[in-house]
Structure 1
């Protein structure tokens, strides 16, 4: 009979996520994961498989959270759609100093790991769709030119967010990042 687990899976996955976010996949050893989670290597392997399997689980969970937040941003009055986009562009101020696991995992592994590439693409498609929907809401509310390409403008917002996140990680001051966010919103507003 298997022994009951003496750890909370969520806590272990959260610690592994933080370790992968800080060190990247290639820069994180199983010893690092063992120290971060408090589990022995054997317990890690027994519960989560090898390092790549654990990364896929953590990355997938992270992307699921990103998808849920993107869906939540779409909900709300159409005349506040630009406010929700603006708030999202200002959110990189509060990001982890090591950056976003979606961005880091994509940059590090998408070219060599088909599962990471597929899950990252799905997450970015969700972000693009949610921003397109917000632009369409703003168009219906008369806040954005109704003839503008909503998908392209939504893509501009996603790209600006990713860039602002990188600037925040590099230490660019919040005032500069906020001016960039306001310029991006101003460029799509009517």
Structure 2
């Protein structure tokens, strides 16, 4: 009989996730993963099949957690649907501008994927679909309550907000400040009311 494993896979995946969030898949080394997880290289291979497979496992759990977080943020019924989205976007602007903000593995996978057939791309798209489903539910409530036009395309708007937040994440990673990200967050909401953007001169520059 095989000897029982003396580790929890969930703990290993969590530790590996932190490594991948910092380095990405390509740059993360097996030595990095060994140090972070406390497992030997052979144990990692035996349990997960290799670095790429471990990344995909971590990515799956990361996207589920991200979906839960957005669902919680947009699920409170003590505010209108658009107020919930507005609050969520402003929180994202604050979090993404933090110097210690952890990069999501979905964003890492989007950056490192090589094409439609790449498992990274397939898994990242699954994460986008999950997030879009949460936004779509909130936007549907907004349409039903008359907060957005009746002919609004809820599905495309949902993907739009996923794209905005992923873009904000990358901008924050590049050092773009809170003022700019806040302006992006607020301007992103104007499309829901078909309102014009503020004059460009009134908004912070990426150099600020």
Same fold (TM over 0.5): yes
1:29 Cα offset (Å): 1.5
Listed one character per residue, the Cα deviations across residues 31-74 of structure 1 (whole Å, up to 9, x for unaligned) are 11111111111221222221122112111221222333344455
Helix, strand or coil: the match of 1:3?
Answer: coil
Q: For residue 93 of structure 1, what is the aligned residue in structure 2? A: 94
**For residues 93 and 74 of structure 1, what CA distance do their matches in structure 2 show?**
17
Q: Is 2:109 the counterpart of 1:108?
A: no
Helix, strand or coil: the match of 1:146?
Answer: coil
* Structure 1 residues not aligned, in runs of 5+: none
Helix, strand or coil: the match of 2:119?
Answer: helix
Helix, strand or coil: the match of 2:69?
Answer: helix
**For residues 25 and 116 of structure 2, what CA distance do their matches in structure 1 show?**
12
Paired residues of 2:19 and 2:28 also in contact (CA < 8 A): yes
Task: Give the counterpart of 2:173 among 164, 169, 173.
Answer: 169
Q: Is 2:172 the counterpart of 1:140?
A: no
**For residues 103 and 171 of structure 1, what CA distance do their matches in structure 2 show?**
16
**For residues 187 and 16 of structure 1, what CA distance do their matches in structure 2 show?**
39
* Structure 2 residues not aligned, in runs of 5+: 195-208
Q: Given the superposition, is the C-alpha separation of residues 78 and 158 from structure 1 closer, same or farther in structure 2, using an over 3 Å criterion?
A: farther
Q: TM-score, normalised by structure 1?
A: 0.85
Q: TM-score, normalised by structure 2?
A: 0.79
Paired residues of 1:70 and 1:127 also in contact (CA < 8 A): yes
Task: Give the counterpart of 1:117 among 117, 121, 143.
Answer: 121
**For residues 130 and 33 of structure 2, what CA distance do their matches in structure 1 show?**
30
Task: Give the counterpart of 1:184 among 188, 192, 195.
Answer: 188
Paired residues of 2:74 and 2:88 also in contact (CA < 8 A): no
Helix, strand or coil: the match of 2:3?
Answer: coil
**For residues 137 and 127 of structure 2, what CA distance do their matches in structure 1 show?**
15
**For residues 65 and 173 of structure 1, what CA distance do their matches in structure 2 show?**
26
